[in-house]
A and B are shown apart, each in its own frame.
Chain A
Amino acid sequence: MDIVIVIIEILVAIVWIQQGVVRYVFWENGRPGGGFVPVIFAVIVLAAALAILIKVVFGKNQKETYVFQPSAFMPVVAAVLGGFMLQVGGIGFSVFLFTSIWMRFLSKYSWVKTLITSAIFTFFIYGIFRMWLRVPFPQGFIFQLF
């Protein structure tokens, strides 16, 4: 995985250098162009990434320390679903549903505790962000149908 990360860094640096020089101009009419700062720091990324690559490939005792755990990515899936819930059901509905599902089925709390906690959290989020700070959250496709 270390090598994959370094290769991605190198690719990002190359793209930034190429675009910075060709498209956004490094230096023009005696002054820096839009590519000036990006190119300088992309070169730094490239140099440092190459140094890491050399260390990873030729260094001694370079063992992969991280073991992939699918459960770690569960919150990412939940966040994506939470985002969709927000679009589909609006803020109040999505907060309540999201917290309830997580607490009941992942954290294994009783229905009573789940529903009370979800209601309090929904009230907190809705009260602060929607009512007080007036953040215009999506109305929710479902509610727009009625």
Chain B
Amino acid sequence: MGNFDLLMQGFGTSFSVANVLLAIAGGFMGLLVGAMPGIGAVTGVALLLPLTFKMDPTSAIIMLAGIYYGNMYGGAYSAILLNIPGDSPAVMTALDGYPLSRQGKGGKALFAANISSFIGGSIGIVTLTLFGPLLAKVGLKFGPAEIAALILLALTSIGWLLGDDPLKGIVASALGILLSTVGMDSMAGGAGRYTFGSVNLLSGFSFIPLVIGMFGLPQVMELMSKKEEGDILTTGPRLTLKESILTKEELKRIIPTAIKSAILGNFVGFLPGAGGTTASFLSYVMEKKTGKNEKEMGNGALEGIAASEAANNAAAVGAFAPLLTLGIPGSGTTAVLLGGLMMWGLQPGPLLFIQQTDFVWGLISSMYIGNLACIFVGLVMIPFLMSILRIPRGIIAPIIVFICIVGAYSVNNNMFDVWFMVGAGVIAFIMQKHQYPVAPILLAFVLAPRFEQAIRRAFSISNGSAKIFIEKPISAALLLITAVFILAPVVMRLVKKVKAK
């Protein structure tokens, strides 16, 4: 039987009124939890997984697909509306989403996020349907050297692409990496590193308090500093749903970006350990370098949202390929899902596609249903979400501050994260006021541990020889692109200077 027939058979199993309602319910809950700062996709899925325990496996996976997708969609909402990314890939969405909200285009930003997420998810699912097992094998060709080269490419481009001053961008990125080195060194048997004797630092700094502090708190500080200048806390612009629907021209701008980013994001998702943040960042970089709207990106470009969201969602689906075909979770969220699958007595791996065809194709078909459910729920929720933008600043300010406290606490259930969040907020505010971009710190912080693990493993495999990076064609090509990225701005400046003379 071909893939298409098997997929249709899967639809036959999963498509019923009850299952569609479960997908919508899962999508709604996923969106809600995904949008809550401090919860994030991994925790969100983990928290909602028990809801599916008492269901039959087909209904359970359909609801889980809705929850999983809802989480992916939801991370963007708080990033766009409150400048507090719900999860790490949404950091890129906040860069353009929040400026759009401040320009009174929050509704359009939400629409763009929903549509791009849908496109990303759809392309990801179709690719998984057609080439899942094949691409999982390609993904396995990415060993430590290739993963290290890929993340190095992302890391080097962060500083150059964000902010007006490349030097400050580089400092911010490198500081993010240094922050990530605090805590246990997993390659040295879990020995503490840069903890300076603090027990709280043994487990390292948590990402969510850092992101809440660096995005959420400075935003309220900004609001309060404007008050003193006579700009009283006033009501935000009143938006109608009609004004928020994307025009034909705007759709023409975002759809090609979303498709390109989804393809790249989907491929990154197939790589074990690369993750949605790498996908969303690389797609943003690609759009900034190759798109027509380079100058607008970072200040409120719909293309920025499209690139980040499409890539993130495509990567989320891509992560299923190594999970199902090889039993290797491609992301933290799929690791939680792996636990769920094993609980139902399923053993993901090469034999799953042969021995459990009903389950595999039921799962893949449920992704189509989950994705459709989420775009439906997401679009229906836009008027409600837009009403958040109309809350007077005098009310929204204390709400944001307390959500920051609650969100930071919820990660590890300790007060240390709250104090860390406050400290990160103060530092981020001062840095922003002195033209240091904050986003590179967060992105580098997320990517650095994977980079460190990969580079140290690669050196261990090669007995300390750097040749491993050059001998392998994929890593060599990625390093070449990295070199071009670093040298291109320098060469361009020199050429400009010579031309000016």
Contact = CB atoms under 8 A, between A and B. Distances in A.
Contact of A66 (B409, B413, B419, B433): B433
Interface residues of A, number: 64
Interface stretch (B69-77, B218-226, B311-319, B344-352): B218-226
Nearest to B186: A34
A79 B217 CA distance: 9
Contact of B174 (A1, A41, A125): A41
A19 B405 contact: no
Determine the main DSSP class of A at the interface with B.
helix
B459 interface: yes
Contacts of B402: 82, 95, 98-99, 121, 125
B174 A71 contact: no
A35 to B, nearest CB: 8
A128 B426 CA distance: 28
A119 interface: no
Contacts of A79: 217, 401, 404-405, 418, 421-422, 425
Interface residues of B, number: 67
Interface string B152-185: 0000000000000001101100110110010001
Nearest to B36: A128
Interface string A43-75: 011001101100100000000011001011111
Nearest to B419: A83
Of A19, A52, A134, which is in contact with the most chain B CB atoms at under 10 Å from its CB? A52
A71 to B, nearest CB: 4
Nearest to B399: A121
Contacts of B224: 71-72, 74-75
Contacts of B39: 133
Interface string A1-40: 1100100010011001001000010010011111011100
B175 A107 contact: no
Contacts of A16: 178, 181, 194
Interface in B32-59: 32-33, 36, 39, 47
Contacts of B181: 16, 37-38
Contact of B405 (A69, A82, A136): A82
Contacts of B193: 24, 34, 38
Interface string B418-440: 11011001100111011110000
A86 B394 contact: no
Interface string A107-130: 111000000010001000100110
B187 A34 contact: yes
Interface in B378-398: 392, 394-395, 397-398
A106 B465 CA distance: 62
Given A30-B463, A69-B228, A137-B409, A75 B430 contact: no
Contact of A72 (B33, B222, B431, B451): B222
B409 A135 contact: yes
Contacts of B451: 37
A140 B410 CA distance: 16
A83 B209 CA distance: 13
A78 B405 CA distance: 10
A51 B36 CA distance: 40
11 contacts: A16-B178, A48-B170, A65-B434, A79-B217, A83-B415, A98-B398, A98-B401, A117-B395, A121-B399, A128-B32, A135-B410
Interface of B: 32-33, 36, 39, 47, 167-168, 170-171, 174-175, 177-178, 181, 185, 187-188, 191, 193-194, 217, 220-222, 224-225, 227-228, 233, 392, 394-395, 397-399, 401-406, 409-410, 413, 415, 418-419, 421-422, 425-426, 429-431, 433-436, 448, 451-452, 455-456, 459-460, 463-464
Given A52-B167, A52-B168, A129-B406, 12 more contacts: A5-B431, A9-B171, A16-B178, A34-B188, A36-B452, A42-B178, A48-B168, A65-B433, A91-B406, A107-B233, A109-B395, A121-B402
Interface of A: 1-2, 5, 9, 12-13, 16, 19, 24, 27, 30-34, 36-38, 41-42, 44-45, 48-49, 51-52, 55, 65-66, 69, 71-76, 78-80, 82-83, 86-87, 91, 95, 98-99, 102-103, 106-109, 117, 121, 125, 128-129, 133-138
